[in-house]
Structure 1
Amino acid sequence: MINWLLSAVLILLLVYVILLKRELRRLKTTITTLSERQAYGGRLSLEFREKNLLEVVDALNVWIDEVEKKGQVYRESEENIKLTIAGLSHDLRTPLTTIKGYVQLLPITEDPVKRAQYITIIEQAIARLLSMTDQFYDLTRIETKQKEMELRPILFSTEVEEVLFSFYEQFRERGIEIEFLANSADRTVLADRIMLTRVIQNVAQNLLRYAEGHVTVTFLEASDAVTLQVINHVKPGTQVHIEKIFQRFYTENTSRSNTEASGLGLYLSKKLVEGMGGMMTAQLSDDKFTLLIKLKKGI
C-alpha cells in the first residue's frame, strides 16, 4: 500500500515537473518574441496554472503594461515632433516668402506710395513671424513642463475688455461688432496675467480670421468658477470641424486661403487655460460658433 502511494506521489511530481518545465519553455518563447507582439497586446498567459508561476506572470504583466504605456508615450511624442517640424516649416514659409518677394521689389520700385505699401506688408509679415515664434516658444515650454503659472486673482471681464478693445480698429475694418452681455459686475478668477492675455489675444485673432458680423461676449458665473462665452457667426464658405479645432496646426478650411493662420492659436490657448487649472471647450450649431473658457474663481 505504501509503495503504491509512493509511486502515485512520484508520478504526480513527475507530471508536475514536466508540465512546469513545458510551461516555462512556452513562457520563455513568448517573452523572447514579446517585442514583435507588443503592438497587438503583449500580455503573458498560462496554460498550467500553478500558484507561484501565476504570481510571477502577474508581476511580469504589470511590467509589460508599464513598458507598453511608455512606448505609446514615446511614439506619440515622436509623431508630435514630426508634426511640429512639418507645421513649423509650413507656417514660417508663407511670411518668409512674402518678405523675400517684397524685399526684391523694393530696389526696382520708384513709386513712393508703392514702396511705403511694400514696407508695410514686410513689417506685417515680420510681426506674424515674431508672433509665431512666441507661440512655438510658449508651446515648447508648456509641453516640456518648463513653464510655471503664476496664478493670482485677476478681474476677468476687465482683462477681456482691455484685450479685445486693443483690436478695435481691426474688428471695425472687418465689420465685426463686439457686444458684451450681462457684464454689470466684474468677476475675479485665478490666472497668470501674461498667459491669460495671450489666450484672449488668440481668441481675438480667431475672430478676425473666421467671424462675421455680430459677436457676443458673456460671463457665466457658478459657485466656484467663471466662464467666458464668446459666440460668433462663421464666415460663409468656412468649414469648421468642431472635433479638430483644438488639435495642433488645425486651421478651418475657407473659400480663400488663409495665410495668417498658424493653426496653433486655439491649441496653445487650450494648453494655457488647462495650465491655469481651467477648461476650454467649443460648440458649433448651424453657423454659430461658441467658445467657452472656464477658470476658477479668485479669492
Structure 2
Amino acid sequence: MRIIIGLSTLLLILLTVKYIRMKKQIRYLTGQINDLADGVSEKMLDMSLVDRDLEKLAGAINKHYAKQRYTVARAVQHEQRLKESIANISHDLRTPLTVLMGHLQLVRKSDLTQEQNRRVETALRKAERMKELMETFYDLSLIDSEQAAPVKERINFSNLILDFLTENAPLLESRNIIPDIRLPGCSVFLDTDRIMMERILQNLLSNAVRYCAGDIMISLSDEGNGKVVFCMENTVPAGTKIDTARIFDRFYTGDPSRHGESTGLGLAVVKVLTEKLGGEIAAGVREDVLWVRLVI
C-alpha cells in the first residue's frame, strides 16, 4: 500500500513539474508571438520545447509566418516596381506633352476662325490638365519611394538650366513672364542625378509661375568646394501669407484661394529629392518675394 501511495505521489509530482514547465514554455511562445506581431523581432519561434505537440504548434506558426513574410516582401517589391514604372512613364511623357502644348500655343497665335480658336483652346486646356495629373502621379511616386537611390553623373548644370528654361518657354510666355537669369560666366559642373535634378527644377518653376505676381529670378553660383547654390525667387501678391516653416510639408498650399490649382506636393518633392542628392534646401519671404535656395 505504501509503495502504491509512493508511486502515486511521485507520478503526481512528475505531472505537476511537467505542467509547470509546459505553462512556462507556453508563456515563452506567447511572448515570442507577440514580439513577431509587434515587429519587435523577426526571429522564428524556438523549436526546442519539452512537449512534441508544442513543437508541432511552433513549427506550424513558423511555416505560416515564413509564408506571410514572403507574401509581404513580394507585395512591397511589386509596389516599388509600380511606383518606379509610374515615375518613369510620367517622366517620359512630360517632354512630348510639353512640345504638344508649345505647338498648340503657337497655333493659337495664328490667324484662326472663331471655331478653330475654340477648338485649340479646348485642346490646350485638356493638355494642361493631363500634364497636371501626370505630374501628380510622378510626385506621389517619388515622395513615397524611399528606396529610390540617385544615379549620379557629371553634368553641365548651367546647360541643364538653359535647356530646361527653353523647354518651358511656352509656359513662361503664356503668363507673360520674362525670367531674370543670372548664371556664372563659365559653365558650372555638378555630380548629380539628371532626372532628379530636372524634377527639382520643374517643380520649383511650376510653383514660382503658379504664385508669381510678376517677376521670377533664377540664379546659380559655384561655391568652389564641390557645392553649387541654386536659387529661384518670385514676387507674390502684397500681403500674401506664407508659412515658410510648412512650405515643404506635403499638401501645404500657401494661397488658400488657389488650393484647387495645386496638390501641395511640388515643394515637398523638391525637399525629398534634394536630400536624396545630399543637398540642403531653405525658403523664406522678404518684401513680397518668395525665395527657395538649394545647396547641392
After TM superposition, the score normalised by the length of structure 1 is 0.56
Instruction: Flag the 1:204–1:190 CA change in 2: closer, same or farther, 3 A.
Output: same
- 1:1-150 superposed matches below 5 A: 114=118, 117-141=121-145, 145-150=146-151
Structure 2 residue aligned with 1:282: 283
- Tell me the alpha carbon deviations over residues 81-100 of structure 1, each in whole angstroms, 9 at most, x when there is no partner: xxxxxxxxxxxxxxxxxxxx
Per-residue deviation at 1:140? 1.6
Structure 1: which 5+ residue stretches go unaligned?
Answer: 1-110
Instruction: Flag the 1:221–1:117 CA change in 2: closer, same or farther, 3 A.
Output: closer
Instruction: Flag the 1:116–1:220 CA change in 2: closer, same or farther, 3 A.
Output: closer
Amino acid at match of 2:159: T
Q: Are the aligned partners of 1:215 and 1:233 in contact in 2 as well (CA < 8 Å)?
A: yes
Q: Hey, what's the Cα distance between the residues in 2 that align with 1:252 and 1:121?
A: 24
Of the structure 1 ranges 212-221 and 273-282, higher mean CA displacement relative to structure 2 is found in 212-221
Structure 1 residue aligned with 2:222: 221
Per-residue deviation at 1:114? 4.5
Q: Hey, what's the Cα distance between the residues in 1 that align with 2:231 and 2:188?
A: 13
Per-residue deviation at 1:112? 6.8
Amino acid at match of 1:133: F
- Tell me the alpha carbon deviations over residues 194-215 of structure 1, each in whole angstroms, 9 at most, x when there is no partner: 1100100001101110123232
Of the structure 1 ranges 156-165 and 200-209, higher mean CA displacement relative to structure 2 is found in 156-165
Between the aligned residues of both structures, percent identity stands at 24
Structure 1 residue aligned with 2:236: 234
CA RMSD of aligned residues (A): 2.0
Q: Are the aligned partners of 2:231 and 2:292 in contact in 1 as well (CA < 8 Å)?
A: yes
Q: Hey, what's the Cα distance between the residues in 2 that align with 1:114 and 1:133?
A: 29
- Tell me the alpha carbon deviations over residues 27-75 of structure 1, each in whole angstroms, 9 at most, x when there is no partner: xxxxxxxxxxxxxxxxxxxxxxxxxxxxxxxxxxxxxxxxxxxxxxxxx
Instruction: Flag the 1:112–1:257 CA change in 2: closer, same or farther, 3 A.
Output: same
Q: Are the aligned partners of 1:164 and 1:200 in contact in 2 as well (CA < 8 Å)?
A: no
Instruction: Flag the 1:114–1:258 CA change in 2: closer, same or farther, 3 A.
Output: farther
Instruction: Flag the 1:114–1:241 CA change in 2: closer, same or farther, 3 A.
Output: same
For 2:213, what is the secondary structure of its paired residue? strand
Q: Are the aligned partners of 1:164 and 1:204 in contact in 2 as well (CA < 8 Å)?
A: no
Q: Are the aligned partners of 2:283 and 2:291 in contact in 1 as well (CA < 8 Å)?
A: yes
Per-residue deviation at 1:276? 0.6
**Paired residue total:** 181
Q: Hey, what's the Cα distance between the residues in 2 that align with 1:113 and 1:233?
A: 32
Q: Hey, what's the Cα distance between the residues in 2 that align with 1:165 and 1:238?
A: 30
Q: Are the aligned partners of 1:210 and 1:238 in contact in 2 as well (CA < 8 Å)?
A: no
Q: Hey, what's the Cα distance between the residues in 2 that align with 1:115 and 1:171?
A: 22
